[in-house]
């Protein structure tokens, strides 16, 4: 599709592997950068911590965000993304196993573009990733950069 980066914020190694395999199966060739917790995601986005020196103006074209994360949870990551002019327009898709209504409401209140519950079955998950890729990387018109 393109060479633009997709940031996957996911602490479960099995889910990271499933997502990588689903991207391959769907022929999504975008580079997938993995942040294993919320703090690492923020460091990547803003060029701090372990990602010090990274050009924070080079933002991902899409963020796939889990909610239940160590150090900084997904909702706080989303809150910070939406509060910063450099990142507030990046499409964020919450991709989580959480079925809690409060998480759903909070995600939308904080500005998520979409909320998707991860299917347990790999083939269903692969289809979800394929549809995500088709919509966010091909069909959707990306917002202008700041």
Q: At what angle do helices 74-83 and 38-46 cross, to 10 degrees?
A: 20
For 114-130, how does the pLDDT look when each residue is reduced to its tens digit (9 = 90+)? Answer: 898 876 677 887 788 88
- Domains, the chain, ranges and CATH? 6-139 (3.40.50.2300)
Q: What is the mean pLDDT of residues 88-94?
A: 93
* pLDDT exceeds cutoff 80 at 3: no
Mean pLDDT is highest, among 33-37, 49-53, 99-103, for 33-37
Q: Using pLDDT thresholds of 50, 70 and 90, give the confidence band for residue 142.
A: confident
- Spatial CB neighbours of 69, under 8 Å, sequence gap ≥ 6: 9, 11, 37, 38, 77
Q: What is the mean pLDDT of residues 99-104?
A: 88
Q: Taking the mean position of all CA atoms in its chain, how far away is CA 136?
A: 11
Q: Using pLDDT thresholds of 50, 70 and 90, give the confidence band for residue 2.
A: very low
| CB-CB contact of 67 with 94 (8 Å) | yes
């Amino acid at each position: 599709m393109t060479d633009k980066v997709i940031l996957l914020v996911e602490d479960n190694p099995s889910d990271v592997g499933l997502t990588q395999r689903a991207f391959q199966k769907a022929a999504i060739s975008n580079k997938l950068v993995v942040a294993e917790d919320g703090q690492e995601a923020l460091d990547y986005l803003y060029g701090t911590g372990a990602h010090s020196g990274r050009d924070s103006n080079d933002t991902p074209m899409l963020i796939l965000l889990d909610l239940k994360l160590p150090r900084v949870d997904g909702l706080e990551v989303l809150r910070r993304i939406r509060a910063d002019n450099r990142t507030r327009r990046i499409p964020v898709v919450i991709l989580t196993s959480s079925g809690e209504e409060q998480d759903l409401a909070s995600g939308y209140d904080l500005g998520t573009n979409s909320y998707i519950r991860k299917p347990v079955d790999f083939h269903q998950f692969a289809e979800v990733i394929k549809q995500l890729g088709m919509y966010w990387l091909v069909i959707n018109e990306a917002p202008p950069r700041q």
